[in-house]
């Protein structure tokens, strides 16, 4: 159940149910207060909250924003049936002189302590540092190209620290020239069945906020995922569960399917079983040849991955149990 509520609404509660230990560690950011004595125009902020469901959560969060002169533009609430857990996401505008960024953190933290919150994250895009990410890919580069172009156009609110691949690319290709022009390093790390080069990868990505597997056809081990300790987002070539192994698109084509899809999900130790963030589908028919089939599949993958990353950066994605997500 998803509710859109007013700033004065309250939600009733039932007994507290212990929640999963899984959390989005990479959503922890610390902003800085604005060093200015002149009030600028109002700027937007986003806050997400996850706690046991009790009476008065919405009222308390709304009062916190209003008391500092902020104005709520949108408020989403989700209370699962018979789960006794509360999720919310608010978009608001505020004056950073009247409500400094550091003070905002403390105010929301006070509410988090009052309601024993499992997660309370606030983000002010114009003041907070952008997410630092690394991209991993193999031979196919359609997702990488899409991300680079969106990033260049300012539609991807991240800093791309590096691109890592187990396939070498010629220096005079469009991708390599683009990366060199924008100062993004490219690391060719060939892998074998016996050596996945995970130590080298870890050294390159350990300071990032999350990773994106943009068609990286290698498995990341449980040891790597635990050592990294932050979110890893993967784009999968179909609706999970789906065709597995080599040439999955050709498998689907040969099977004569009428719908193709793409799935973006969080990476876990179990292959292709992480919580799903986004899925997209498109119809195909007997009139499609393998070439048009592949093109439609790649287009879906690009769109699905970009939408998932955008949702993640906008704090729209929250854990729901061990295998699900809430996406506002």
At residue 31, the pLDDT reads 37
Interhelix angle for 248-255 vs 290-313, to 10°?
120
For residues 314 and 171, state if they share a domain: yes
119 and 144 co-located in one domain: no
CA 111 to chain centroid: 25
pLDDT of residue 89: 98
When divided into structural domains, the chain yields a total of 2
What is residue 222's predicted lDDT score, i.e. its pLDDT? 95
Range of the domain at 76: 43-123
Residues 118 and 143 in one domain: no
Choose one of 60, 90, 123: the last residue of a domain.
123
- The confidence score (pLDDT) of residue 244 equals 64
What do you get for the CA distance between the two ends of the chain, in Å? 12
**pLDDT score for 258:** 85
What's the pTM value of the predicted model, to 2 decimals?
A: 0.83
Q: What angle do CA 133, 318, 184 make, to 5 degrees?
A: 5
Q: Residue 16 domain-assigned?
A: no
pLDDT value at residue 260: 85
Amino acid 30: pLDDT: 37
The residue from 78, 102, 123 where one domain ends is 123
Q: Which of 128, 272, 288, 299 is catalytic?
A: 272
What span, in angstroms and rounded, lies between the C-alpha atoms of 218 and 166? 9
pLDDT-flagged residues of the chain (< 70): 1-40, 239-246
Q: Is there a single domain that holds both residue 170 and residue 154? A: yes
CATH code of the domain containing 116:
3.30.70.260
Does 254 participate in catalysis according to the annotation?
no
Asked whether the beta carbons of 305 and 264 are under 8 A apart, the reply is yes
Query: Residue 318: CB partners within 8 Å, gap ≥ 6?
Result: 24, 48, 50, 87, 89, 119, 325, 326, 327, 328
Given this model, what pLDDT does residue 184 score? 97
Shared domain for 117 and 154, answered yes or no, is: no
Give residue-wise pLDDT tens across range 264-314.
Answer: 999 999 878 899 999 999 998 899 898 898 899 899 999 999 999 999 999
Q: What pLDDT does 254 receive? A: 79
**Per-residue confidence (pLDDT) for residue 243, from 0 to 100:** 62
> Quick one: 166 and 290 in the same domain?
yes
Please confirm whether the linkage preceding 241 is cis (ω < 30° from 0).
yes
pLDDT of residue 2: 47
- For residue 267, which of 296, 298, 302, 236 has the smallest C-alpha distance? 236
* CATH number where 295 lies: 3.40.50.170
179 and 80 fall within a common domain: no
Claim to verify: residue 92 and residue 114 sit in the same structural domain: yes
Identify the pLDDT of residue 241. 52
Has residue 35 been placed in a domain? no
Please tell me whether residues 182 and 303 are part of one structural domain: yes
If phi > 0 it is left, if psi is from -120 to 50 it is alpha, else beta; for residue 57 that is: alpha
Residues 145 and 276 in one domain: yes
């Amino acid at each position: 159940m998803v509710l859109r509520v007013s700033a004065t609404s309250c939600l009733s509660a039932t007994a507290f149910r212990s929640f999963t230990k899984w959390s989005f560690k990479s959503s922890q950011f610390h902003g800085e207060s604005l060093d200015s004595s002149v009030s600028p125009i109002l700027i937007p902020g986003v806050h997400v909250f996850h706690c046991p469901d009790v009476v008065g959560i919405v009222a308390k969060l709304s009062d916190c924003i209003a008391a500092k002169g902020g104005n709520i533009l949108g408020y989403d609430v989700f209370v699962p049936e018979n789960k006794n857990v509360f999720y919310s996401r608010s978009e608001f505008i505020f004056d950073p002189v009247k409500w400094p960024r550091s003070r905002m953190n403390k105010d929301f933290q006070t509410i988090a302590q009052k309601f024993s919150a499992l997660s309370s994250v606030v983000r002010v895009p114009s003041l907070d540092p952008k997410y630092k990410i690394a991209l991993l890919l193999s031979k196919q580069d359609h997702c990488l190209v899409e991300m680079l172009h969106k990033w260049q156009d300012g539609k991807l609110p991240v800093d791309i620290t590096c691109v890592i691949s187990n396939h070498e690319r010629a220096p005079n290709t469009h991708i390599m020239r683009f990366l060199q022009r924008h100062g993004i390093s490219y690391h060719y790390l060939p892998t074998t069945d016996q050596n996945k080069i995970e130590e080298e990868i870890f050294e390159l990505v350990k300071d990032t906020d999350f990773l994106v597997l943009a068609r990286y056809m290698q498995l990341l081990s449980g040891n790597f995922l635990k050592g990294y300790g932050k979110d890893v987002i993967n784009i999968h070539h179909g609706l999970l569960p789906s065709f597995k192994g080599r040439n999955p698109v050709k498998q689907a084509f040969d099977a004569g399917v009428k719908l193709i899809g793409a799935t973006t999900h969080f990476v876990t130790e179990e292959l292709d079983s992480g919580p799903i963030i986004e899925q997209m589908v498109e119809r195909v028919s007997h009139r499609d040849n393998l070439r048009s089939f592949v093109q439609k599949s790649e287009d879906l993958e690009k769109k699905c991955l970009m939408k998932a990353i955008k949702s993640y950066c906008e704090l729209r994605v929250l854990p729901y149990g061990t295998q699900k997500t809430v996406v506002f």
